Structure formats: structure tokens, C-alpha cells
């Protein structure tokens, strides 16, 4: 899934893009023109299952192999997703039909699976594995025809056609295991318009498969590797008995059909979501809620503040007004530096780095430049952007650290460059060891890990240092009031000012705004679906930024009114409150939607979820913190302090 952390995005400008989800193609992803009988290469990507979350290489199972196995060079995103693209022995020629061909048959003998191989195949079938192939960079899909709920006597029932990515390896029935050993490929081509004297060229626009299970006795093979499929429905499926050797044929047929679909729209089938209305409904709902709340909050805060400021700025009756409201009372302490200023500024620096990376990735993806046709592009772009955004993260962290009276800038820069990435790398390394143990292709190879470490210490770290140096040298943020030397006493706080209660209260609104989109992102990551509604995601991101800012301003206002001036850390923690709800939702999704029972898949799920929650907390906490900081500076600048 482009989604394994493939997620974040945007805008009304590209209204049509959201509805159509069709992308324009970036230079470099050029169409390939085929002539009649040109070979169309079928490659294998991997085997996946939403039950185990562990991808495997195609040849980890005893499929027929070509004389020479060659792996395609891959980008970083593909490696991290577990793709291992390899050639296969299928011989497919453009616009040339094949009734039935036998794969890897030597002098017409069937393939014999050893007991060990049979047990492995049976295990993969019971674990619900799907096989992913590609032809001309288009993934194979299985057509599912669902009848919409109409009256039973309605003869012309409308079919709702959906596509499943890949094809099922096999199926189980009454405790018996059957393998799909015959593949009927259906390829659709678009005939390109040519001059009269030129030969027609064709482009592949869809790749479907109908997997079948046909037992050895019912497949009649001859010396020329061609075979005859059984007539009608009188054949039995090919059973795999995991306790003994099994004999079978691997066969395939090829059928070509002409299509009106243009090459540029060929991905629409895979990306069209049947539930675009749900997205629109959730977006409109979120926008209405956010605007309604902003109206109320702005009214309350502006009116209350105006009254407060007017009262504070009156020359007379100062004694009376001091009793009324409390936020002016803490003016001498509100900008007192918090505990651990280095860690706070480092986390906020990483938050800025994440924010910039997410903003750019979503925007570029929304413009269609990270189309699924360029595999792994989303993840590769996100990794590189995070590295290069280190300069902005370092700059903001350095300037804030200087404002908080910090003086060890080198240590602060190192902390910013290593704290969050170090946690991410550590968790991923531990999970990777478990995936290695399972021999899954999802394990990041050692050279890739070394390359990532080199990127971290060779690109990200120097850029963070560079940004931190300039940020630390720049004038610190200008605080409108002076800090007293002796901290004032904080009165006893009410129960609802408790930090955890604050997190629960502040998290609900931003989470509500992005809840629907979160469901689709989780489906893309864990259930092997494409996610391509980046227009919606961009809007959701904007709503998230607005709602986080509003909530954090309200929370900091209440806290200062309660005469508690220790708002720095508290505001950062409380603004990230929606991450707590994301965690709760992830647990709910695991229990209700996923069929994961084994230990390692569960560990992977919760390990990656912990990383998502941590990143989300940093992101929302940073947005909320900066909104509240600007608000606090604004209100104290408006008050006359004696």
C-alpha cells in the first residue's frame, strides 16, 4: 500500500480532481505502444494478506520459474513497501489469443510439489494470500460483480462492478484446501489512431484475471505445452493435501478485448471509489462544525477579551477589576521559561519538519504528481522531503530555544536532529528484526537500512544544524511583558483543569473533523487498497489545522484565567489530544475490522500504529502550540502593564 504511511493532503481549486480522481501523468511515465504480436511482459510484484500483514516474494512459493530470474531495480518507496518485482514465464503477445497453455511442463509431465512445498502452499491459502502481477505497469485485478438490492422479480438486475487488487491464491471448502492453478488473463487494449499507411499500435489499458482451480485429471495436456480445458462445470478443483506430495499443472489462457478507455484514464478503474459521497458528506459536516465553533469561540473570546482589556486599561477601579478576571494577574510569569526547554524546542522543531513535509506531499499528490502508476513515489518523496525540511525544523527549534533562555545550541541541534527520528528508527528496526525472522519481503534489506542511516546523518543532521545555527543567532521572539524574578504562587486548580481532562476535551473536535478520512487511510494501509483522494485529504488537513489552533487558544485562555502560567508543556500535550483518539480508533479498527490473530502481525500493527500516533501528536501539538503562543503574545501586548 502506498499507504504504509503512505498519508496526508488538499484543495477546492482542484474540485474536478477530487471527483474524478484521474491523474495527469508526469514526464517519465510515458505510454508504451505495442504492435500486433509484440511481447507484453507479465511481472510479479509480491504476495500479500490483510490477515498477516507480511508480504512475501512471488517465488517464495513453488510457482513456475523462467530460465533466468531478473529483479527490477527499485526505488526506496518500493523497497519499504515490500515490492520485489520479478519476471515470470507467462508468454503474452499483443492482441494474440491463447486458449490454454501449460507452464513449466517438461515433456508434458505435471509439476510435483514436495510435502514441504505443499504444506507451505496450503498455509498461504488458509492465511488468505493474494498474488499481485503487473502487465505494462498495470496491476492485475479480479472483477467482483455484486447485484444491487432490487426486487427479486426484476430480471434486469443492475450489477455493481468492483475490482479486487490481485487474485486469491486459492480457497478452502469443508476443511479441504484448493489452489488456483489456471489463470484466465483478460487484457484490454486501446487502438491508437494512425495514418492510413502506418501499422496500428495498441496500448494496454486494463489487466484482469479470472483464477480457476482445475484438477490434474481434467486438464488434457499435449506435447506442445498446450492443453484443453474441461467443458462446462463438470470439473473438480485442484486440491492441495499438506500431508503428502501433490501433482498438478500450472496453466493459463489469454484473451484480448478492445476498449474505449484512453491510456491516460486507465488507472481510473482502480482508483474510483464507490463512496465519494461519504467523503463529501464528512467534509461538509466538518466544515460546518468548524465554522460554527469558530464563530462561537471568536465571539466569546473576542468579547470577553475586549471587556477584560478595557477593564484592565481603565485608570480607576483597578482594585475592583483585579478581582474579576485572572489572566492579567500572571503577566509577570506567563513567559517564564518552562522545564526542559531543550526537549520542548526539539519536539516542536520535529513537528515543524513533519508539518512542512506533509503539506508539500499532500499538495503535490493532489496535483496528481504522485500517481500510483509511479510505484513507491509517495513514500520516496515523503522520506526525502522529511530529510530536507530539517533546515526549517532546526531554524524554528533554534529560535524558540534562544527565546526560552537556552544557551547550549549545539546540544539542542543534536537533540532536534535525533530525538524523533531516533525513536522512529528504533521502533522500525525492532519490527524489522521480527519481519526478517519470518523471511518476508517486507523486511527492509540491510543495505537500504545503511542508506537510510547515511541519509539521516549525511543530509538531515547537517541541515538541522544549519537551520538551528541561524535560528539561534536570530533575534529571539519578542515577549511583550517582562518576567518577574520570583514566581507567584499558583492557586488550587478545579478538576476540569486536569491535564488528562484537557486532552480528552481538546482532542474530540479535530478527531471528529478527520474521522472518515482516517477510516479510508487505515483501509489503504492495512487492507491493501489504493488511496488516491488527496483532494479530500488536503481539505481535511486544512480543517485539522484550523480546529487544532482554535482549541488550543481556548484551552490556554482558560488556563491563564485560572492563574496557572505553566502553559508551555501543557498546551503542547493538550493540543495533540486528538492523537489519543486516533490510538483508541486504531484499537477499535484492529478488533472489529481486521482478522489478525497471530503475534507478529499484531506486533507490526501496533508498532506502526504507535509511530503514526506519535507523529500525529507531534504534528497537532506543534500547530496548537504556535497558535497559542501567538495568541498569548497578542493579548499581553494589548494590556497596559504598570
Residue 149 φ then ψ, to 5°: -70, 100
Most confident of 486-490, 625-629, 631-635: 625-629
Could you give the percent of the chain with pLDDT greater than 90? Answer: 35
Is there a contact between 342 and 415 (Cβ–Cβ < 8 Å)? yes
Residues 150-194: tens digit of each pLDDT? 555 454 555 667 778 899 999 998 889 999 989 999 999 988 776
DSSP string for residues in 500-564:
HHHHHHHHHHHHHHHHHHHHHHHHHHHS------HHHHHHHHHHHHHHHHHHHHHHHHHHHHTT-
Closest CA to 628 of 510, 531, 548, 519: 548
SS3 category, 138: strand
pLDDT at residue 315, as a whole number: 58
pLDDT at residue 10, as a whole number: 32
CA contacts within 13 A on the Cβ side of 16 = 3
Give Cα separations from 455 to 352, 413, 460, 470 (angstroms).
19, 17, 7, 22
pLDDT at residue 76, as a whole number: 86
181: its cell numbers:
492453478
pLDDT at residue 620, as a whole number: 95
Q: How many CB atoms lie within 10 A of CB 74?
A: 17
pLDDT at residue 20, as a whole number: 35
Residues 280-294: tens digit of each pLDDT? 777 787 788 777 777
pLDDT at residue 168, as a whole number: 92
Q: Give pTM, 2 decimals.
A: 0.84
pLDDT at 454 > cutoff 60 = yes
Range with lowest mean pLDDT among 284-288, 318-322, 410-414, 569-573: 318-322
pLDDT at residue 316, as a whole number: 54
Residues 46-70: tens digit of each pLDDT? 999 888 888 999 999 999 888 888 9
579: its cell numbers:
492523537
Instruction: Identify the residue with better confidence: 359 or 75.
Output: 359
Residue 100 parent element (H or E): strand 98-103
Instruction: Identify the residue with better confidence: 295 or 316.
Output: 295
Average per-residue pLDDT for the chain: 83
CA 615 to chain centre: 12
Give Cα separations from 445 to 38, 146, 386, 432, 435 (angstroms).
35, 41, 21, 9, 11
pLDDT at 489 > cutoff 60 = yes
Q: In the structure, what pLDDT confidence band is assigned to residue 634 with cuts at 50, 70 and 90?
A: confident
Q: In the structure, what pLDDT confidence band is assigned to residue 13 with cuts at 50, 70 and 90?
A: very low
Alpha-carbon gap, residue 624 to 576, rounded angstroms = 8
Range with lowest mean pLDDT among 38-42, 289-293, 617-621: 289-293
Give Cα separations from 248 to 42, 179, 220 (angstroms).
22, 10, 11
Is there a contact between 533 and 21 (Cβ–Cβ < 8 Å)? yes
pLDDT at residue 1, as a whole number: 39
DSSP string for residues in 357-372:
HHHHHHHHHHTTTT-T
Alpha-carbon gap, residue 241 to 29, rounded angstroms = 45
Alpha-carbon gap, residue 436 to 429, rounded angstroms = 10
Strands 250-258 and 182-191: parallel
pLDDT at residue 477, as a whole number: 87
Q: Under 8 Å CB-to-CB from 275, ≥6 apart: which residues? A: none
Residues 577-593: tens digit of each pLDDT? 999 999 999 999 999 88
Section 5-12 average pLDDT: 33
Determine the Cα angle at 254 with ends 253 and 256, to 5°: 155
pLDDT at 23 > cutoff 60 = no
SS3 category, 11: coil
Instruction: Identify the residue with better confidence: 490 or 245.
Output: 245
Strands 202-212 and 182-191: antiparallel
Instruction: Identify the residue with better confidence: 113 or 276.
Output: 113
pLDDT at residue 188, as a whole number: 92
pLDDT at residue 29, as a whole number: 62
Amino acid at each position: 500500500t502506498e499507504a504504509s504511511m503512505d498519508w496526508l493532503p488538499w484543495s477546492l481549486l482542484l474540485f474536478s480532481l477530487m471527483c474524478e480522481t484521474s491523474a495527469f501523468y508526469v514526464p517519465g511515465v510515458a505510454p508504451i505502444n505495442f504492435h500486433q504480436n509484440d511481447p507484453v511482459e507479465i511481472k510479479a510484484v509480491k504476495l500479500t494478506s490483510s490477515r498477516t500483514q507480511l508480504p512475501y516474494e512471488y517465488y517464495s512459493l513453488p510457482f513456475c520459474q523462467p530460465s533466468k530470474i531478473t529483479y527490477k531495480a527499485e526505488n526506496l518507496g518500493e523497497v519499504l513497501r515490500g515490492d520485489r518485482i520479478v519476471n515470470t514465464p507467462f508468454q503474452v503477445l499483443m492482441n494474440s489469443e491463447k486458449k490454454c497453455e501449460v507452464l513449466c511442463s517438461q515433456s508434458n509431465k505435471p509439476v510435483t510439489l514436495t510435502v514441504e512445498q505443499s504444506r507451505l502452499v496450503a498455509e498461504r491459502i488458509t492465511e488468505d494470500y493474494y498474488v499481485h502481477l503487473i502487465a505494462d505497469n498495470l496491476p492485475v485485478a479480479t472483477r467482483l460483480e455484486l447485484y444491487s438490492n432490487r426486487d427479486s422479480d426484476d430480471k434486469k438486475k443492475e450489477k455493481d462492478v468492483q475490482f479486487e487488487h490481485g487474485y486469491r491464491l486459492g480457497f478452502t471448502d469443508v476443511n479441504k484446501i484448493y489452489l488456483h492453478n489456471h489463470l484466465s488473463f483478460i487484457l484490454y487494449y486501446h487502438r491508437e489512431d494512425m495514418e492510413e499507411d502506418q501499422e496500428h499500435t495498441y496500448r494496454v489499458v486494463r489487466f484482469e484475471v479470472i483464477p480457476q482451480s482445475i484438477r490434474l485429471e481434467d486438464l488434457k495436456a499435449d506435447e506442445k505445452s498446450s492443453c484443453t480445458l474441461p467443458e462446462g462445470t463438470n470439473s473438480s478443483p485442484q486440491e492441495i493435501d499438506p500431508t503428502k506430495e501433490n501433482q498438478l499443472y500450472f496453466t493459463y489462457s489469454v484473451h484480448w478485448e478492445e476498449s474505449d478507455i484512453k491510456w491516460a484514464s486507465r488507472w481510473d478503474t482502480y482508483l474510483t471509489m464507490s463512496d465519494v459521497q461519504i467523503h463529501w458528506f464528512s467534509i461538509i459536516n466538518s466544515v460546518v462544525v468548524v465554522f460554527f465553533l469558530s464563530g462561537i469561540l471568536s465571539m466569546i473570546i473576542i468579547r470577553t477579551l475586549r471587556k477584560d482589556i478595557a477593564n484592565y486599561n481603565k485608570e480607576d477601579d483597578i482594585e475592583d477589576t483585579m478581582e474579576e478576571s485572572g489572566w492579567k494577574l500572571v503577566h509577570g510569569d506567563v513567559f517564564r521559561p518552562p522545564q526542559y526547554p531543550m526537549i520542548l524546542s526539539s519536539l516542536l522543531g520535529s513537528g515543524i519538519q513533519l508539518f512542512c513535509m506533509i503539506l508539500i506531499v499532500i499538495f503535490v499528490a493532489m496535483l496528481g504528481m504522485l500517481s500510483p502508476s509511479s510505484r513507491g513515489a509517495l513514500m520516496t518523496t515523503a522520506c526525502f522531503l522529511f530529510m530536507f525540511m530539517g533546515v526549517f525544523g532546526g531554524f524554528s527549534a533554534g529560535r524558540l530555544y534562544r527565546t526560552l533562555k537556552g544557551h547550549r545550541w549545539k546540544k539542542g541541534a543534536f537533540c532536534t536532529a535525533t530525538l524523533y527520528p531516533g525513536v522512529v528508527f528504533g521502533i522500525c528496526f525492532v519490527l524489522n528484526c521480527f519481519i526478517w525472522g519470518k523471511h518476508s519481503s517486507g523486511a527492509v534489506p540491510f543495505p537500504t537500512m545503511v542508506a537510510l542511516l547515511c541519509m539521516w546523518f549525511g543530509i538531515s543532521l547537517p541541515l538541522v544544524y544549519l537551520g538551528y545555527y541561524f535560528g539561534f543567532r536570530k533575534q529571539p521572539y519578542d515577549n511583550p511583558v517582562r518576567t518577574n524574578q520570583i514566581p507567584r504562587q499558583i492557586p488550587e486548580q478545579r478538576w476540569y483543569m486536569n491535564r488528562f481532562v484537557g486532552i480528552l476535551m481538546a482532542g474530540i473536535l479535530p478527531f471528529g473533523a478527520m474521522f472518515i478520512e482516517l477510516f479510508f487511510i487505515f483501509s489503504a494501509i492495512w487492507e491493501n487498497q489504493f488511496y488516491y483522494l488527496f483532494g479530500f485529504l488536503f481539505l481535511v488537513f486544512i480543517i485539522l489545522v484550523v480546529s487544532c489552533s482554535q482549541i488550543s487558544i481556548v484551552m490556554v485562555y482558560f488556563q491563564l484565567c485560572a492563574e496557572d502560567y505553566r502553559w508551555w508543556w501543557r498546551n503542547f500535550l493538550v493540543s495533540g489530544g486528538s492523537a489519543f483518539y486516533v490510538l483508541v480508533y486504531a484499537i477499535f479498527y484492529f478488533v472489529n475490522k481486521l482478522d489478525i490473530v497471530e503475534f507478529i502481525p499484531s506486533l507490526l500493527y501496533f508498532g506502526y500504529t504507535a509511530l503514526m500516533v506519535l507523529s500525529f501528536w507531534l504534528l497537532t501539538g506543534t500547530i496548537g502550540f504556535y497558535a497559542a503562543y501567538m495568541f498569548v503574545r497578542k493579548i499581553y501586548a494589548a494590556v497596559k502593564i504598570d
